[in-house]
Amino acid sequence: MNFLKRLFSKEARVPRVNIKQRFELIGRVGQGSMSKVWRARDYNSGKTVSLKILDKVKTQELEARFVGLDKPKEGEIAVQFNHPHIVKTYEHGLTADQEQFLVMEFIEGYSLSFLVEAQNEDMKTNCLKYMIQLGEAIQYFHDEGWIHRDICPRNIMVSNDHELKLIDFGLVVPNTPPFLQPGNRTGTAAYMAPELIKRQKTSQKIDIFSYAVTCYEMLTKRLPWKAAETMEAVLQHINSPPEHIQNLLPDLDPRIADAIMKGLELYPQDRWQTINEMLDPFKQAYKEQQRSAPAKTPVPHQETVESARRKQQPDPAQPRRSEQARPKLRKKKQPGSSRRSTESKSESTEAGQAPAKKSPNASRKPERPTQKKPAPRSKPDKKDESH
């Protein structure tokens, strides 16, 4: 009977793909607990893509937890999403070795877990913006009828264009009664909601809790409780209140602080009921930040201020344009010549007339000995700012 089910199942009709013939594997770009991710070139489309190949044994172990529930496969779930802050999945299927694979857009950027640890200028400037983008992605999940179950920084990428994207859907389940029943405990321990840890009935509010933990960590570089790697350690601290975020960041906007702390409430009914409710104070604070931020002067072609300044300075290896245009100096006149006779000579020459010859017997007053002066020099041109 099981043989007949497999024979006529959808999986049996999925064509197998020879990965090495279909893709050029350029290099590994990530590895999760259940998969390997490659940067690859798709010979069919010519695109550079992310190729995710799921570990066959570990995937079977996960699916065994949902036996009898007909849980959709990760690829079947991922291809349905169309949101700017969720990685786009183009295709899914099975390899020749019967491993599940997904073909996704390739994101040039960094893992959010790296930015949390680095706390660099990008993170400090755009943290609230990234928090809002992540919340909008989770709300989209919920509106489409899903629960993510594994919101944490390692499942999130930030592109070089400062756009955040959710990238992993291995634990996503439908928001339907069979998948909300007590007993199934999957996720990343430090971000799990208390009801999930205690194997109680779950809801989309487990994602709200994980989102609040992630926001707390994005701002403070630490978890609301002492880090716990084992489930036993997590069980010990979930009943103690988290440290208030304003103890760590006294200058944090109270609206942001209160929103995060409400998302960390122990009991689901005390948390935000939807992600959108939690996002409202974030968005209000962000708008006020944008209004009060000083205006930035755009630099053409995305040049830095320093590079633009260097371009304005003249190249010392090149002569200045004013020096190139400077006329050659005339030879110094011999003593006794007068400036007026020189001007008279040049005026008659410019008019096309021959200079008049002075009679040798002409009477003239004796000239006073004058100090030797150089010929007049033309003023140099104004500095050309284009160099």
Provide the pLDDT confidence category of residue 183 given band limits of 50, 70 and 90.
confident
Domain 109-291 classified CATH 1.10.10.10? no
Provide the pLDDT confidence category of residue 47 given band limits of 50, 70 and 90.
very high
Boundaries of every domain in the chain: 10-105, 109-291
Task: Give the pLDDT confidence of 238-289 residue by residue, as tens digits.
Answer: 778 899 999 999 999 999 999 999 999 999 999 999 999 999 999 999 999 8
CB 74 within 8 A of CB 103: no
- Highest CATH level, class, for 10-105: alpha beta
Model pTM greater than 0.75?
no
User: What is the phi/psi pair of residue 295, to 5°?
Assistant: -70, 140
For 101-132, letters b (16+ CB in 10 Å) and e give: bbbbebbebbbbbebbeeeeeebeeebbbbbb
For 210-236, letters b (16+ CB in 10 Å) and e give: bbbbbbbbbbbeebbbeebeeeeebee
